[in-house]
């Protein structure tokens, strides 16, 4: 008899579908179009960050500085405009800062050969500290008059769809094209799958790794701008929150293994949908904070255990990525 | 008879003398005997400040206010910034106990973590002033907001705004373990107990995080578009709550009550533009002045640390559209820092 092989992606999708059906049947108001949009809107920023993390994880890395790349450049834009600079100049400065973060990460990992876990942990702390010590007057950078119009990036709607969802969709398309349609995307998969083989076959591994981290930082910066526009301020303290774990969760739950070379945009979307459905359902049910964490943990455990039972590890598959 | 004369003469002479001396005294000035010991009691003393984190309006305001009041007297003002890390805060307090400052000004992240440490500090002879968020241990002084009163007055505002409407309200709490959040909730419950007609459709913690507050409010508003009011627990977080109300096109229809330190950009401006309908301000500069006053009194009195215990609850300023324009209602952090 042939053994049934189910991928983690399919398991998570099944869990998502089961949760979604249960909520739809038993939860009044869950299945309304309005609520569906709210659900997506609430996880749009998380989803965009998931895309950034996915690029890096597919290339067999990890980026813990992503939340700093979200908070500091976006905070810089708000602070500079508050101090009287023009919006385009501020955006340019923020973009350059994000690129710098990505370049430093990439250089440390690709050329200095520092493990990604340590390199990005350090740059993340450095950038967040830089923001607090030198760039911002207060942790929460307020919206100012000079930003007028820019809030449309995260508020309001386009053709009835909330803007943050549209931004997530655009980011999905861009990352999809990049990963699946370009040569650089193919290189990222090759390096993630087997970095040594990739190098032997003549792929410019080091520049590709640098590119990975620059892309991640830029997408992180974009997520930060969407977030700031959405709440009309930039709570830069978000760096100290557990958001980075949620991002890793989205990626891993969606089925992008930390050992690299597998998965794509669809996985991020599935992971994001699962988290979004759980959060939305629990908010409607008015489940208290502690209860929400308990349920989140439980669902994750179920997903991971099911995956282990259906796809037992052997020596070959147990090889972990170089994180 | 002679002695009577002598006495009269002597009295006249004494009167004349004193009359002559009095203007002379006024020209020389009178030494106020208490100011020198006061100055000596303060000069060279160290006051240590441990907020939950710097870089937000409340803690920056207290810092600037204390510095302004204490440093001219030669007080050394040191700061340990745990940056929202409770562990780092406990370590800072522990190391301060061994450094023995004269006074510690402590902003507790929750009611338990520092309680034992603060007791130890007072046993070591260090005065402890707890600010805004107290711990389970009662120290020399508590200076700060009465959270129960804040919860009550916010809820009264919301209940009033709900009259004749759906009577459905939501509560956006802060961090569950923080004294400020738990006490405010108690105040909310006190008022709700008197108003059984009010239905709480959602009561959740957003962890002082604007993005989380926005997400919760969005979902709640989609489920209950006829919601008539929200009790928020901090204006720094309720920027998110207000953004969700605005996005749903319900500004003016959903009454949002919140609380905060009363900084212009974070409070008055947001009340003026309709984001908040009521912001209970505990007026940070006044709080800082009260802390400084307490420190001066404790140091100059020489009372044993831990032998007196008192509280100074802040007189609250309700900020509404009526007084948000008034220069006295809010304060500017940039001015306070000058």
Per-residue model confidence as pLDDT tens digits over A116-133: 999 999 999 999 999 988
pLDDT digits (tens, 9 = 90+) for B215-267: 999 999 988 999 999 999 999 899 999 999 998 899 989 999 999 999 998 89
pLDDT digits (tens, 9 = 90+) for A81-98: 999 999 999 999 999 999
Q: Is residue A3 part of a domain?
A: no
CB contact, 8 Å: B211 with chain A? yes
Is A42 in Cβ contact with B243 (below 8 Å)? Answer: no
Is B220 in Cβ contact with A231 (below 8 Å)? Answer: no
pLDDT digits (tens, 9 = 90+) for A195-206: 888 889 999 999
ipTM of the complex: 0.76
Q: Is residue A322 part of a domain?
A: no
Task: Locate the chain A residue with the closest alpha carbon to B243.
Answer: A231
Q: Is residue A134 part of a domain?
A: yes
pLDDT digits (tens, 9 = 90+) for B145-183: 999 999 999 999 999 999 999 999 999 999 887 888 999
Whether residue B18 has pLDDT greater than 80: no
CB contact, 8 Å: B330 with chain A? no
pLDDT digits (tens, 9 = 90+) for B275-296: 999 999 999 999 999 999 999 9
Nearest 5°: CA angle at A147, between A145 and A148? 70
| Number of domain units in chain A | 1
Q: Look up the pTM and report it.
A: 0.81
Q: Considering only CB atoms, which chain A residues are within 8 Å of B53?
A: 139, 237
> Choosing among B172, B205, B210, which should be mutated to test the A contact, i.e. which has the most A CBs within 10 A?
B210
CB contact, 8 Å: B247 with chain A? yes
Q: Is residue A321 part of a domain?
A: no
Whether residue A148 has pLDDT greater than 50: yes
Task: Locate the chain A residue with the closest alpha carbon to B334.
Answer: A137
- CATH code of A188's domain: 1.10.3470
Q: Which helix or strand (DSSP H or E) is residue A96 part of?
A: helix A87-106
Is A283 in Cβ contact with B204 (below 8 Å)? Answer: yes
pLDDT digits (tens, 9 = 90+) for A221-263: 999 999 999 988 888 888 877 788 889 888 888 888 777 888 8
Hey, what are B246's tokens?
Answer: 């605005």
- Strand order in B310-313's β-sheet? B76-79, B46-50, B103-106, B127-131, B141-144, B310-313
Structural domain boundaries, residue A105 = 8-315
CB contact, 8 Å: B89 with chain A? no
Rounded distance, CA B303 to CA A259, Å? 65
Q: Is residue A226 part of a domain?
A: yes
What is the phi-psi region of residue A148: left when phi exceeds 0, alpha when psi lies from -120 to 50, beta otherwise?
A: beta
Q: Is residue A323 part of a domain?
A: no
Q: Is residue A145 part of a domain?
A: yes
Query: What is the distance in angstroms between the Cα of A76 and the nearest Cα belonging to chain B?
Result: 15
CB contact, 8 Å: B60 with chain A? yes
Parallel, antiparallel, or unpaired: how do β-strands B317-319 and B278-281 relate?
Answer: antiparallel
Instruction: Count the Cβ atoms, other than its own, within 10 Å of residue A186.
Output: 14
Higher pLDDT, A196 or A311: A196
Rounded distance, CA B191 to CA B199, Å? 12
Parallel, antiparallel, or unpaired: how do β-strands B127-131 and B141-144 relate?
Answer: parallel
Whether residue B338 has pLDDT greater than 50: yes
**What is the greatest pairwise CA distance in chain A?**
71
- Which residues have C-beta within 8 Å of that of residue A76, sequence separation ≥ 6? A90, A93, A94, A97, A131, A135, A136
Bridge partners (DSSP) of residue B317 are B281
CB contact, 8 Å: B69 with chain A? no
> Choosing among B53, B56, B219, which should be mutated to test the A contact, i.e. which has the most A CBs within 10 A?
B219
Residues B52 and A139 sit within 8 Å (Cβ to Cβ)? no
CB contact, 8 Å: B236 with chain A? yes
CB contact, 8 Å: B35 with chain A? no
* Confidence label for A322 from pLDDT (cuts 50, 70 and 90): very low
Is B202 in Cβ contact with A235 (below 8 Å)? Answer: no
Is A289 in Cβ contact with B207 (below 8 Å)? Answer: yes
Q: What phi, psi does A62 have (nearest 5°)?
A: -155, 150
Q: How many CA atoms lie within 13 A of A81 on its CB side?
A: 23
CB contact, 8 Å: A79 with chain B? no
Q: What is the DSSP string of A60-127?
A: T---TTHHHHHHHHHHHHHHHHHTT--HHHHHHHHHHHHHHHHHHHHIIIIIS---HHHHHHHHHHHH
Q: Is residue A309 part of a domain?
A: yes
What is the phi-psi region of residue B142: left when phi exceeds 0, alpha when psi lies from -120 to 50, beta otherwise?
A: beta
What mean pLDDT do residues A197-217 have?
94
Coil/strand/helix, residue A165: helix
């Amino acid at each position: 008899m042939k053994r049934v092989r189910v991928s983690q992606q399919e398991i998570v999708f099944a869990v998502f579908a089961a949760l979604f059906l249960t909520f739809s049947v038993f939860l009044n108001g869950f299945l309304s179009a309005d609520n569906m949009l709210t659900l997506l809107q609430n996880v749009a920023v998380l989803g965009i960050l998931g895309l950034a993390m996915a690029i890096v994880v597919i290339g067999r890395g990890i980026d813990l500085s992503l939340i700093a790349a979200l908070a500091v450049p976006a905070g810089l834009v708000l602070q500079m405009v508050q101090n009287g600079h023009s919006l385009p100049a501020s955006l340019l400065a923020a973009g350059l800062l994000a690129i710098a973060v990505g370049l430093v990460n990439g250089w440390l990992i690709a050329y200095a050969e520092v493990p990604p876990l340590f390199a990005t942990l350090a740059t993340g702390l450095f950038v967040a500290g830089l923001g607090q010590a030198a760039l911002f007057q207060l942790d929460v950078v307020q919206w100012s008059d000079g930003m007028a119009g820019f809030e449309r990036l995260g508020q309001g709607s386009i053709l009835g769809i909330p803007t943050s969802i549209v931004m997530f969709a655009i980011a999905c398309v861009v990352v999809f094209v990049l990963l699946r349609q370009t040569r650089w995307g193919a290189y990222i998969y090759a390096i993630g799958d087997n970095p040594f083989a990739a190098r032997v076959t003549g792929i410019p591994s080091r520049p590709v790794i640098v590119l990975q981290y620059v892309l991640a930082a830029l997408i992180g910066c974009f997520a930060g701008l969407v977030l700031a526009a959405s709440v009309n301020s930039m709570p830069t303290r978000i760096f100290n929150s557990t958001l980075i774990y949620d991002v890793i969760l989205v990626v891993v739950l969606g089925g992008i293994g930390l050992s690299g070379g597998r998965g794509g945009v669809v996985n991020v979307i599935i992971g994001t949908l699962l988290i979004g459905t759980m959060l939305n359902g629990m908010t409607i049910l008015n489940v208290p904070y502690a209860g929400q964490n308990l349920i989140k943990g439980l669902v994750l455990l179920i997903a991971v255990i099911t995956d282990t039972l259906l796809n037992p590890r052997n020596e070959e598959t147990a090889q972990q990525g170089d994180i | 008879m002679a002695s009577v004369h002598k006495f009269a003469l002597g009295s006249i002479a004494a009167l004349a003398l004193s009359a002559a001396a009095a203007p002379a005294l006024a020209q020389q000035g009178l030494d106020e005997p208490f100011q020198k010991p006061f100055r000596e009691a303060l000069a060279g003393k160290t006051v240590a400040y441990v907020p939950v984190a710097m870089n937000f309006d409340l803690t920056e305001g207290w810092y600037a206010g204390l510095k302004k009041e204490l440093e001219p007297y030669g007080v050394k003002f040191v700061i340990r910034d745990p940056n929202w890390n409770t562990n780092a805060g406990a370590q800072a307090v522990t190391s301060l106990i061994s450094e023995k400052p004269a006074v510690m000004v402590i902003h507790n992240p929750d009611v338990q973590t520092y309680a034992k440490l603060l007791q130890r500090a007072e046993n070591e002879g260090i005065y402890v002033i707890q600010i805004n968020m107290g711990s389970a241990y009662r120290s020399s002084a508590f200076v700060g907001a009465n959270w129960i009163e804040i919860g009550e007055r916010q809820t009264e505002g919301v209940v009033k705004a709900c009259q004749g409407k759906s009577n459905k309200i939501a509560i956006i709490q802060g961090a569950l373990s923080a004294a400020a959040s738990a006490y405010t909730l108690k105040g909310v419950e006190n008022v709700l107990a008197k108003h059984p007609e009010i239905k709480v459709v959602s009561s959740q913690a957003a962890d002082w995080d604007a993005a989380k507050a926005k997400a919760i409010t969005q979902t709640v508003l989609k489920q209950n578009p006829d919601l008539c009011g929200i009790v928020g627990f901090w204006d720094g977080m309720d920027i998110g709550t207000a953004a969700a109300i605005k996005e749903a096109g319900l500004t003016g229809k959903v009454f949002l009550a919140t609380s905060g330190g009363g900084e212009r950009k974070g409070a008055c401006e947001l009340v003026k533009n309709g984001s908040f309908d009521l912001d209970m301000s505990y007026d940070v500069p006044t709080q800082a002045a009260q802390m400084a006053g307490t420190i001066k009194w404790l140091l100059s009195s020489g009372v044993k640390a831990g032998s007196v215990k008192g509280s100074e609850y802040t007189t609250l300023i309700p900020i509404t559209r009526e007084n948000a324009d008034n220069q006295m209602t809010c304060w500017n952090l940039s001015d306070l820092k000058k």
